[in-house]
Amino acid sequence: MNLINESIWKFKSTQWSAIATLFISIFVLVLQFTLDAKLLPSGYESIASAILVFIAGAAGKKVYQPELHAPDLNQFATIQPLVSAPVSSNDLAWMVEAKKHIGLKENTSKTAHNPTILSWLISLGAWWSEDETPWCGVFVAWCLKQAGVAYPKHWYRALAYAEGGAKLLKPAYGCVAIKTRSGGGHVCFVTGKTKDGKLVCIGGNQNNMVSYALYNQSDFQEFRWYGKTSRPADSRYNLPILNNVTATKVSEA
């Protein structure tokens, strides 16, 4: 059974190891022969042995050794405890990812930043590295990326999500909801609705955290489907009724 598809002789570590082993083996044989035949003047044995050790050490440095690093425990220092959320076996991959982060908060001290949000920025190729900049678009892009779904080129801009995906006439579970706000926009995922008809959405930067929030359907400019299919399944339009969601007002700045 082959564990790799390539020949091991293609790798420098294998080549240098073989060459060094062959060279040292020949050197030892030659040295032993000269000693047995008394071709090497008395007292030079130690010099020859030292040369052998030097050559072996030099050859050993050429063999690649993986770098070992102690784990960076500081990255876990400010990770916020997350509230568990039920996940259906029929759930959408990006919604599963979104629910994993319920309760995650940005660091509002402005002197430190949540390492999880910073890791999202790095993965998405952001040119900034702080969680003070509104990050609702960052959260949506991260969840879509983890699900293998394409997201807008300007993923950091909430209103850019109105330029991609497929436009829906009404909200469906898992669709992206886009709205304008003072100074910009906001983007989140539709998760369900309340008994009185308000939409329940999960998003980032809602009260400086990943949380559920309540909106009127009329609050949103557009609903867009960003799944791997051209449109959601018909069953996705039957939004589940969710209780115990009381955030009627959220800060999105």
Q: Supply the pLDDT for residue 80.
A: 38
C-alpha angle 164/233/243, rounded to 5°? 95
- Helix, strand, or coil here: 101? coil
Q: Is the pTM of this model over 0.75?
A: no
Q: What is the mean pLDDT of residues 78-84?
A: 38
Contact 78/114 with Cβ under 8 angstroms?
yes
Residue 125, sorted as left (phi over 0), alpha (psi -120 to 50) or beta, turns out to be left
pLDDT above 50 for 170: yes
pLDDT above 50 for 78: no
pLDDT above 80 for 21: no
Higher-pLDDT residue of 56, 32: 32
Residue of 130, 108, 112, 116 lying closest to 79 (CA atoms) = 116
Q: For strand 199-203 and strand 211-215, is the pairing parallel, antiparallel, or unpaired?
A: antiparallel
- Among 53-62, 71-80, 87-96, 213-222, the range scoring the smallest mean pLDDT is 71-80
243 to 84, 98, 117, 192, 246: CA distances (angstroms): 15, 19, 28, 10, 8
pLDDT band at 182 (very low <50, low <70, confident <90, very high): confident
Q: What is the mean pLDDT of residues 186-205?
A: 95
Amino acid identity, residue 95? M
Q: What is the mean pLDDT of residues 80-101?
A: 73
Q: How does the average pLDDT of the chain come out, rounded?
A: 80
Following DSSP, what letter does each residue of 174-231 receive, concatenated?
A: T-EEEEEETTEEEEEEEEEE-TTS-EEEEESSSSSBSEEEEE-GGG-SEEEE-SSSSS
pLDDT above 60 for 65: no
Q: Supply the pLDDT for residue 46.
A: 66
pLDDT band at 25 (very low <50, low <70, confident <90, very high): confident
Q: Supply the pLDDT for residue 116.
A: 96
Q: Supply the pLDDT for residue 240.
A: 95
Distance CA 93, CA 78 (A): 26
pLDDT above 70 for 173: yes
pLDDT above 90 for 23: no
pLDDT above 90 for 27: no
Q: Supply the pLDDT for residue 247.
A: 61
Following DSSP, what letter does each residue of 52-72 receive, concatenated?
A: HHHHHHHHHHTS---------
Q: What is the mean pLDDT of residues 67-91?
A: 46
